[in-house]
Amino acid sequence: MARSRALEHLRICDFTGQLAGAGATRFLAAFGAEVIRVEDPVRQGMWDILRGVPPYVDERRGLDLGGGFNNHNVEKYGITLNLRKEAAREILRELIAISDVVTENFAAGVLARMGFPYDELRRIKPDIVYVSNCGFGHTGPYQTYKTWGPIVQAMCGLTFSSGLPDMPSAGWGFSYMDHHGGNFMAIAIMCGLIHRNRTGEGQWIDMACTEAGATLNGPALLDFTVNGRRMRRPGMPNSNHSQFPAMAPHNIYATDGDDNWVAISCRDDADWIALAKVVGEPWTADVRFASPDGRLADEAELDGRLATWCRSLERHAVAADLQAVGVPAAAVARPQERVDLDPNTAAWGLWPTVSHREMGDVQVDGLPVHFSETDWVLERGAPCLGEHTEEILVRLLGRTPAEVASLHAEGVL
């Protein structure tokens, strides 16, 4: 199987899991970095709660068969080390000594308690780039507190800022900050490498996912610090409308059928004039709606009128008719429509098939970028528990297969 050669010169000693950490090293692995997942054989790698949980490709169950785990760990190698034993710690030291980066998203302090605090990492490899990622980081008053995606999102403002007026916040229907925890962490890793390559200096980069998340509400934050306006006020959140910038109409409207919706946004007067022509009903000529300020002032009435117009129409037809006259509009896509029926995601190659030792051929998320010279490649599925232990110990760390067998027998691997 082929591998991208973009980052083939980089090796990551990787303790990450879930998505918030695994997503970061997934990016690097897709571009060919040698990412070596280190897992605990005693707990069968179940620190990563996605190992072995649904969805499954068939009726089989087991810790190598979780669909989410496969999705997040494609193109990585997997080894097991029982770090309770000195022989395993010695192997880890050897691996760190030939790695560029050590990554983890344990709760704060866990890797240090396993015997590998940053001071030990840099003793082993002076220019190591160590990136830790947890909800509240390794310093500060909440450093012992636990999080996962929805907790992070609640504590950074992203849950609150998503919802309909006069309702409790809806928040995010998935771990949005696990995705961006991974994305920010990938950026942190590469910044650490670029700095090291220029100066020869490694460092410990500590990421608190809550802080990364809090950077994603910028204009609302400045509206508070500059103007004193809080989002905790009547009528907010109101995220199907657009505040920054303000525009109307801008909403999600029900269409023909069950749970079918179309999103429409009018950016300016030109969009409004084009939309009004497509709608073709007398109310669109109301002078109150002729200016942005007028549309915003009577946004509720405008929404009601447009909702009535949309209600009996087919959502894809509405979107197509509006796109044809230059108005941004899109049907709210269901998973099947995005994955199996969208010609653009197909043409992009967005859902590549990887080969997994136990699961077989499985489609996974691709990357939303294409490189003209050294593009990403996703062909290998996630490693089964310990799938590459022998390969890595023999190829990189100079052990013989016989030595690996006896280390297994001694409970080291």
Partner 1 sequence: MSAADTNAVAEAMPAALAMPAALPGPLVGLTVVELASEHGAFAGKLLADLGADVVLVEPPGGHHTRAFEPFLDDRPGPERSLWWWHYNTSKRGIVLDLQSPQGAASFARLVADADVVLEAEPPDRLVGLGLDHPQLRAAHEELIWVSITPFGRAAGLPRRNELATDLTVLAAGGPVWNCGYDDHTLPPVRGGGNQGYQTACLWAVSSALAAVLQRELSGRGQHCDVSMHAAANVTTEAGSYEWLVANATVQRQTGRHAATVVTQFTRTTGTDGIDIHTGFPPRSVAEYQGVIDWLDELGARDEFADIVLLEMAVERGGVQLWELASDPLAMEMFGAGRDAFIFIAQRLGAYEFFHGSQQRGLACAVILAPEEVFEDEHYRARGFPVDVEHPELGRAFTYPGAPFLMPASPWRIGSRAPLLGEHQHLVDFADEKG
- Closer CB to partner 1, residue 312 or residue 344? 344
Residue 46 near partner 1 by CB under 8 A: no
Is residue 45 a contact partner of residue 385, using CB atoms and an 8 Å limit?
Answer: yes
Residue 104, CA atoms < 13 Å, CB-side half-sphere: 21
**If binding means CB under 8 A, how many residues of this protein chain bind partner 1?**
159
Kindly indicate which of the ranges 35-43, 344-352, 382-390, 399-407 contains the residues binding partner 1, using the contact rule CB under 8 A. 344-352
**364 lies in the binding site for partner 1 (CB under 8 A):** yes
Q: Is 277 exposed, middle or buried (0-12, 13-18, 19+ CB in 10 A)?
A: exposed
CA atoms within 13 A on the CB side of 126: 3
Per-residue string for binding with partner 1, 181-220, x by CB under 8 A?
Answer: --xxxxxx-xxxxxx-xxx-xxxxxxxx-xxx-xxxxxxx
Read off the tokens for 220. 């609302």
Is 123 a binding residue for partner 1 by CB under 8 A? The answer is: no
Among 16, 25, 71, 73, binds partner 1 (CB under 8 A): 71
Q: Which of 46, 47, 57, 403 binds partner 1 (CB under 8 A)?
A: 57
Token pair recorded at residue 233: 């006020």
CA 60, chain centre distance (Å): 27
The alpha carbon of 18 is separated from its chain's Cα centroid by a whole number of angstroms, namely: 10
The answer to whether residue 374 forms part of the interface with partner 1 (CB under 8 A) is yes
Residue 83 one-letter amino acid? L
174 binds partner 1 (CB under 8 A): yes
- Does position 156 interact with partner 1 (CB under 8 A)? The reply is yes
Query: Minimum distance between the CB of residue 90 and partner 1, rounded to whole angstroms?
Result: 24
Q: Is 84 in the site for partner 1 (CB under 8 A)?
A: no
Among 17, 45, 67, 386, binds partner 1 (CB under 8 A): 67
- d(CA 70, CA 59) in angstroms, rounded, equals 16
Question: Is position 96 an interface residue for partner 1 (rule: CB under 8 A)?
Answer: no
Classify strands 329-331 and 77-80 as parallel, antiparallel or unpaired.
unpaired
Residues 25-44 binding partner 1 (CB under 8 A) are 27-28, 31
What is the secondary structure of 317-329 as a DSSP string? HHHHHHHHTT--E
Assigned token pair, 407:
């280390």
Instruction: Give min distance, CB of 356 to partner 1, in A.
Output: 11
Is there a contact between 121 and 115 (Cβ–Cβ < 8 Å)?
no
Q: Identity (one letter) of the amino acid at 404?
A: V
Q: Tell me which residues in 220-259 interact with partner 1 (CB under 8 A).
A: 220-227, 229-232, 237, 239-240, 242-246, 250-254, 259
- Binding flag, residue 56, partner 1 (CB under 8 A): yes
Is position 47 an interface residue for partner 1 (rule: CB under 8 A)?
A: no
